Amino acid sequence: MQHSSIHWFRKGLRLHDNPALLAAAADCHRLHPLFILDPSSGRAGANAQRFLLDTLRDLDGSLREMGSRLFVVRGCPEEVFPNLFHAWGTTRLTFEVDTEPPARQRDAAVAELAARHGVEVIQEVSHTLYDTKRVLALNNGKAPLTYKHLQSLLASLGPPEKPAPALTWEHLRGCHTPCQVSHDADYGVPTLEELGQDPTAVGPNLYPGGETAALTRLDTLMERRAWVCSFKKPKTEPNSLSPSTTVLSPYLKFGCLSVRTFWWRLDELYQGLLWREFFYTAGASIPNFNQMVGNPVCLQVDWDKNPQHLHAWREGQTGYPFIDAIMTQLRTEGWIHHLARHAVACFLTRGDLWVSWEEGLKVFEELLLDADWSLNAGNWLWLSGSAFFHRYFHVYSPVAFGKKTDRDGVYIRKYLPVLKDFPAKYIYEPWKAPRAVQERAGCLVGTHYPQPIVEHEVASKRNLGRMKAARARKGTKQEPQASSSMAESQRKKPKIEQR
């Protein structure tokens, strides 16, 4: 039987390792590669939307080289599909499995619509290394709550599947994509302005989106064999002016790069990919994973409601240059080093401001290029001390931590130019500079740059007591280690640690 197929691109925005796309092309006489811009999905900011539009243009260009095109449609999928099924005479719909709860609800509704219209639905797993359903089934339907436990479960499954072949001309032989002269007007990739974003408000496009850029970046990294083999994330620098990690996370988030392709080419770094799998598996099965209330693994904490502190943190106005420089880089470029994420997350929550991790999650969801739902929630749960991680006395110092890798404050001078003329002695603590030094630097603290909104030593000690109290209410005296590797680096005496 010859099918009229729609392949619905969602997170798998690529032609390589896309088994659902290959299923759409099989026995197909008419193919519509589709992307739906759903206005109700997420809080993506301008940088992330620009990355997505780059990706869609790249995908359309790759399809065009094969005689096909990408169809971009706006609207809610449940409302869009009935019209497309009718207009395009669709008999088959294919898409990649999405593990996240809101997406699962949407996909179930779309599958039900397709059934009512007599359309076959094919879903394929390719956004995660393993089928999360299989992993959960091995653990009696429950998410493994330690990394070591996940490792033991995955060991019984063996290595991830090899990537599927990339779509080629051969797959599309005899398969026609009906494109009209008005295709760009009717189904073209929109501009940032058309999405309601001001293109002048976004930062430099340091990480252009798309499969082409993703594979080029991966190839470039693989050429640095010595760097890959000696790579240790804890020894990279959160305030390096050029990224000291791969910056492949945005490409994995949008599916420009297949995680299975990454695994098989970078198996030396498999631990990092398994952390991704750990949080995907947890997010797929733990109710209300992205919030505190109703989340069975989350510590219930009486966080402060302080809009002023939240605003200062978000806008890089806390008075702590290391924190403010990180948040400025995030806002302008859409990416920050993983240790920089640790520092600002700890500062917002249990370290200094005692503001709920849910507020930080929302900001990261808007501003990060790679804000995966599961990974974003899992990391905020971790860094706030709410789940998985119980060494809550480990606090990132907003002064000392950055100095370890950038004593001269080059990173701060780039992202906070108002402080660029401060001597290195005061660049992390400008409020301690004598008035004459501030005047020579052209920046008076309290006028041109804010005073610290909290006193770190006081706030962190107070919050340590509050965290102890919250844990005592839960009755958590001893919890399993989150991972053996983390355990080795965190075996310290149980008092507050400043890093």
Contact in structure between 431 and 455 (CB atoms under 8 Å): no
pLDDT at 232 over 80: no
pLDDT at 248 over 70: yes
CA angle 33, 34, 40 (to 5 degrees): 165
CA 115 to CA 121: how far, in whole Å? 8
pLDDT at 19 over 60: yes
Lowest-pLDDT range of 18-32, 241-255, 273-287: 241-255
pLDDT, greater one: 453 or 102: 453
Contact in structure between 81 and 110 (CB atoms under 8 Å): yes
* AA identity, residue 436: A
Pick the CATH number of 287-498 from 2.20.25.240, 1.10.579.10, 3.40.50.300, 3.30.420.40: 1.10.579.10
* 429-462: pLDDT as tens digits: 999 999 999 999 999 999 999 999 999 999 999 9
| Local confidence band at 227 (pLDDT 50, 70, 90 cut-offs) | low
| Local confidence band at 246 (pLDDT 50, 70, 90 cut-offs) | confident
Task: Please tell me what DSSP assigns to residue 355.
Answer: B
pLDDT at 357 over 70: yes
1-127 folds as Rossmann fold (3.40.50)
Residue 394 three-state SS: strand
Model pLDDT, residue 480 = 35
pLDDT at 274 over 60: yes
Lowest-pLDDT range of 177-181, 438-442, 465-469: 177-181
Residue 449 three-state SS: strand
Mean pLDDT value across the chain: 90
Q: Is the dihedral of CA 19, 7, 54, 360 positive or negative?
A: negative
Average pLDDT over residues 162-189: 92
pLDDT at 492 over 50: no
Residue whose tokens read 């929302």: 362
CA 233 to CA 131: how far, in whole Å? 26
Which secondary structure element, helix H or strand E, spans residue 183, and what is its range? helix 183-187
Q: Is the dihedral of CA 14, 18, 22, 25 positive or negative?
A: negative
pLDDT at 10 over 70: yes
pLDDT at 495 over 60: no
pLDDT, greater one: 392 or 350: 350
pLDDT at 490 over 70: no
pLDDT at 493 over 50: no
CA distances for 184 relative to 37, 86, 161, 190, 407, angstroms: 15, 21, 37, 9, 52
Q: Is 90 exposed, middle or buried (0-12, 13-18, 19+ CB in 10 A)?
A: buried
CB atoms closer than 10 angstroms to residue 85: 20
| Local confidence band at 265 (pLDDT 50, 70, 90 cut-offs) | confident
Domain boundaries, the chain: 1-127, 287-498
Beta strands 71-74 and 92-96: pairing type?
Answer: unpaired
pLDDT, greater one: 67 or 391: 67
Model pLDDT, residue 344 = 98
pLDDT at 292 over 70: yes
pLDDT at 194 over 60: yes
HEC sequence for 273-317: HHHHHHHHHHHHHCCCCCCCCCCCCCCCCCCECCHHHHHHHHCCC
pLDDT at 241 over 80: no
* 60-75: pLDDT as tens digits: 999 999 999 999 999 9
CA 499 to CA 496: how far, in whole Å? 10
Lowest-pLDDT range of 180-189, 220-229, 296-305, 439-448: 220-229
Length in residues, the chain: 499
Q: Is the dihedral of CA 101, 103, 104, 110 positive or negative?
A: positive
- C-alpha atoms less than 13 angstroms from C-alpha of 434 in its C-beta half-sphere: 3
CA 307 to CA 300: how far, in whole Å? 20
